[in-house]
Structure 1
């Protein structure tokens, strides 16, 4: 069967908690690019926050890498890292830059292009039948249905190099909020959004937001989230790893406190990402402080449901575009909501500033953006539609037709 393919950069993958005992085995002829010698690949996992779930479980049995982006599951040259026995792991147990090492294996030095993450399928009957499952906030554990292709591996196209005689770290990151689809019939499906980042080219951004435990925090480039986390009980957050390169540039850090905290969005623009050196945008002594805000919801329907659209709520302010919330439309009805358990979008004007080393960074309201959003729907085929949504006075209903 064919694998699920993800080719956009930067790459998104899966966050797994707990130390896993991994046994490495060759996949039929070695990989690399023929440069000679042996290197070591170490695979770790981290996680992005989820919206509306207390737990998101997946069961992983293998990680595979190959030197060709086009190699299918039966090709020679795969290097496999087996999880024995397969392990059910809560993706939401890792946030704020915490990494869990899955294991490591020796492999031919050279360039690699493809990673596949292989999951177990749910099985009927018995206490261990739910290999993959979710616990909605305040609810009970329910099955998370996985596409048949998951058993061949979630395919991630992500070039990286393993040098001879050295250890190469690859971090896999799973965006549960965008990956779990609530269906209209009350069931849940997995639509994986996964990435991979070599730590040798990554950096960290951290900070503290006052009075906003559980705030969603995003590092974005041109309105595209490249790393996400959630603030802890004291408002501390850490965005790591964030890929750094000569072309990637700085990031915009977007802090959405959430309806429970009733505070406005905070945005710090042009935050530098430096390999090996953390960048702070706020501290406990100089925290990000945000004004009060009510929250409202955008919901609607995407037709046909087979479009399997992903939806993003974007806010345009100070010449930039910023993702504030995202969700997936139900695959059976096309219905969506940002979010189901609580409204996702602040009504108050976003508070925006530009990075400076001296803290605190001054933030100013952008009044023209208050309550105004654009909802972008992207179908499974890549078609994109965008419509305005104004939540200044009430929740907004926005429908799409592909």
Structure 2
């Protein structure tokens, strides 16, 4: 069985395998982490443009609203036109691996370069001093290890801009947050770890994910999987035989535990 499994997997998964070993930097979250992607979107509004200067997003894992804030770092700090993200459109602000657990709040840090365009004329958006340290948004999301999540910041521009007359506009952001799990994962223990040369999630003859077990504990994770059934192939070293688990079901937002697999 070993030669057949290896020849099949190497055709479709060699590059994938090189990216997903437990010790390499890779696109998948390591064990015990969740991948969080933060998106900006907007509700319809009757302005020509609404430019918001977004400089950072910070996360708080604790109930302490003063300390414990951690910067996530934006992919592109700067000015965004909210009207570009109406009617279901959005833009990616952050994609980052975070420790699994509960996120109670996030803080949106704005810069000073905010403006609104009305009737073809641009006006500055004044920001109250109380909001210059950041806008605290309640999230209360539970991030499960080895699952990918999306968090949307739904910026309601129509409610966020207050006009006081004399062409003076004040920015008082009204933002709704919501999260969605976008994938599941398969985890387990493969022993003896030193003899396991690769672990693969296979669906319809396609190798979707690959991993190596932890060299000491044998734990492994196949993350970023869409919902469905997968065959999990554990490839041995030629002395111990390969084994395949058939029909492992993956559910979005959950980690499917296949337990301990011992090669013989």
Shift in Å at residue 85 of structure 1? 6.0
Q: How does 1:64-213 map to 2 (within 5 A)?
A: 64-72=58-66, 75-76=67-68, 78-83=69-74, 86-121=77-112, 131-136=113-118, 138-200=119-181
| Distance in 2, Cα, partners of 1:84 & 1:120 | 16
| Distance in 1, Cα, partners of 2:175 & 2:76 | 23
Shift in Å at residue 69 of structure 1? 4.5
Shift in Å at residue 192 of structure 1? 1.0
Shift in Å at residue 199 of structure 1? 2.1
Shift in Å at residue 86 of structure 1? 2.9
Shift in Å at residue 99 of structure 1? 2.1
Secondary structure of 1:83's counterpart equals coil
| Distance in 2, Cα, partners of 1:90 & 1:113 | 28
Shift in Å at residue 177 of structure 1? 0.5
Structure with bigger strand share is 2
| Distance in 2, Cα, partners of 1:118 & 1:80 | 10
- RMSD over aligned Cα, in angstroms? 2.0
| Distance in 1, Cα, partners of 2:149 & 2:75 | 22
Does structure 2 conserve the Cα–Cα contact (< 8 Å) formed by 1:69 and 1:157?
A: no
Does structure 1 conserve the Cα–Cα contact (< 8 Å) formed by 2:43 and 2:155?
A: yes
Q: Which structure has more RCO (C-alpha within 8 Å, separation ≥ 6)?
A: 2
Does structure 2 conserve the Cα–Cα contact (< 8 Å) formed by 1:172 and 1:197?
A: yes
Shift in Å at residue 66 of structure 1? 0.8
Q: How does 1:350-365 map to 2 (within 5 A)?
A: none
Q: Which residues of structure 1 form unaligned runs of 5+?
A: 1-35, 122-130, 202-275, 277-402
Shift in Å at residue 139 of structure 1? 3.0
Secondary structure of 1:46's counterpart equals strand
| Distance in 2, Cα, partners of 1:99 & 1:86 | 16
| Distance in 2, Cα, partners of 1:97 & 1:104 | 19
| Distance in 1, Cα, partners of 2:33 & 2:82 | 32
Does structure 2 conserve the Cα–Cα contact (< 8 Å) formed by 1:86 and 1:120?
A: no
Shift in Å at residue 166 of structure 1? 1.7
Residue-by-residue CA offset, 1:172-212 (whole Å, 9 max, x unaligned)? 101010110111232100111111100239xxxxxxxxxxx
Does structure 1 conserve the Cα–Cα contact (< 8 Å) formed by 2:156 and 2:174?
A: yes
Residues 94, 85 of structure 1: CA spacing in aligned structure 2 closer, same or farther, 3 A cutoff?
closer
Does structure 1 conserve the Cα–Cα contact (< 8 Å) formed by 2:75 and 2:93?
A: no
Does structure 1 conserve the Cα–Cα contact (< 8 Å) formed by 2:51 and 2:79?
A: yes
Secondary structure of 1:68's counterpart equals coil
| Distance in 2, Cα, partners of 1:84 & 1:99 | 14
Residue-by-residue CA offset, 1:71-106 (whole Å, 9 max, x unaligned)? 22xx13x23122376311101111121121112111
| Distance in 1, Cα, partners of 2:79 & 2:73 | 14
| Distance in 2, Cα, partners of 1:55 & 1:176 | 10
TM-score, structure 1 as length reference: 0.36
Shift in Å at residue 150 of structure 1? 2.7
| Distance in 2, Cα, partners of 1:90 & 1:67 | 30
Corresponding residue pairs, total: 153
**Equivalent in 30, 51, 54 of residue 57 of structure 1:** 51
Secondary structure of 2:181's counterpart equals helix
